[in-house]
Amino acid sequence: MAPTQSKLVSQNPTERLYYLDNFRTYLTALVICHHVAAPYGGLGIWFYSSKLYPPGSSPTLSAFNALNQSYFMGSFFFLSGYFSKKALKRKGAKSFLKTKFLKLGVPLVVYTLLAAPAQIAILKLYNKEVLGWDILTDYWKALDGVKGTMWFSALLLIFDSVAALCPSIPAFLAQSTTLPSFILDIGAACLTRLVNPTGGKIVLLNLKPVYLPQYVASYVLGASLESPPTPPVTKTARNVLLASTIVSSTALVGLGLNKLRPYSANAILGGTSLPALTYAVWNETTGYLLGTTILRLFKTSKWLNRSWGSIGRYSYAAFLVHPIVCVAAQVWTDEWHALPVVKATVLSVVGVVGSWSVGWVLVRVPRARMATFTRIPDGETPVIDVDPSRRVAKIDKNIYGGFLEHMGRCIYGGIYQPGHASADTHGYRTDVLKSLQTLDIPVLRYPGGNFVATYHWQDGIGPRESRPTRPELAWEGVETNEFGTDEFLHWLTVLGNCEGGVGKWTVEPYFALNFGTGTLDEALAWVEYCNGKGNTYYANLRRKNGREEPWGVKYWALGNEMYGPWQVGQLNAEDYSKKAIVFAKALRLLDPSLVLVLCGETGYSSWDFEVLRSCIPYVDMHSIHIYTASSDHMKNVSAPLIAERAIEATAAFIDVARIENNIAPTKPRTTICFDEWNVWSPTRAPGNLGAEEKYTLSDALAVGVWLNVFVRQAKYMGMANIAQSVNVISPLMTTEKGIVKQTTFCILELFSRYMRGWTVHTHVRGGVYTGDTEPAWLKGVQEEGINTLDVSATVGKDGWVSVAVVNMDENKDVEVDLKIGGAVEGGVETHTVTGENVNVVNTEEEEVRIAEGTWDGKGKYTFKKHSFTLLRWKSDEKIVGSE
Residue among 527, 501, 531 at smallest CA distance from 512 = 527
The burial of 659, by beta-carbon neighbours within 10 Å (0-12 exposed, 13-18 middle, 19 or more buried), is given as: exposed
Whether 183 contacts 2, CB under 8 Å: no
Q: List the beta bridge partners of residue 850.
A: 833
Whether 724 contacts 403, CB under 8 Å: yes
CA 72-76-82 angle, to 5 degrees, is 140
Q: Cα separation of 435 and 732, whole Å?
A: 8
Whether 619 contacts 594, CB under 8 Å: no
Reduce the DSSP state of residue 731 to 3 states and report it: coil
Buried b (16+ CB within 10 A) or exposed e, 97-134: beebeeebeebbeebbeebbbbbbbbeeeeeeeeeeee
Buried b (16+ CB within 10 A) or exposed e, 297-328: ebbeeeebbebeebbbbbbbbbbbbbbbbbbb
Q: Residue 440: phi, psi to the nearest 5?
A: 50, 55
369 conformational bin, left if phi > 0, alpha if psi -120 to 50, beta if neither: beta
Q: Cα separation of 248 and 39, whole Å?
A: 26
Q: Cα separation of 50 and 384, whole Å?
A: 49
Residue among 69, 5, 66, 12 at smallest CA distance from 41 = 66
Whether 123 contacts 139, CB under 8 Å: no
Strands 789-795 and 800-807: antiparallel
Q: Cα separation of 498 and 507, whole Å?
A: 9
Whether 224 contacts 84, CB under 8 Å: no
What is the separation, in whole angstroms, between the first and last Cα of the chain?
A: 46
The burial of 177, by beta-carbon neighbours within 10 Å (0-12 exposed, 13-18 middle, 19 or more buried), is given as: middle
Which value, to the nearest 10 degrees, does the dihedral of the CA atoms of residues 157, 160, 161, 166 take? Answer: 160
Q: Cα separation of 143 and 147, whole Å?
A: 9
What's the longest Cα–Cα distance across the chain?
A: 110
478 conformational bin, left if phi > 0, alpha if psi -120 to 50, beta if neither: beta
Q: Cα separation of 498 and 558, whole Å?
A: 28
Q: Cα separation of 463 and 415, whole Å?
A: 20
DSSP 257-317: GGG--GGGTHHHHSSS-HHHHHHHHHHHHHHHHHHHHHHHHHHH-TTTTS--TTGGGGHHH
Residue 65 per-residue DSSP state: H
Q: Residue 719: phi, psi to the nearest 5?
A: -170, 150
H helices then E strands: how many in the chain?
25, 24
Identity of the amino acid at 739:
I
Q: Cα separation of 197 and 545, whole Å?
A: 98
Q: Catalogue the active-site residues.
A: 561, 676
Whether 560 contacts 406, CB under 8 Å: no
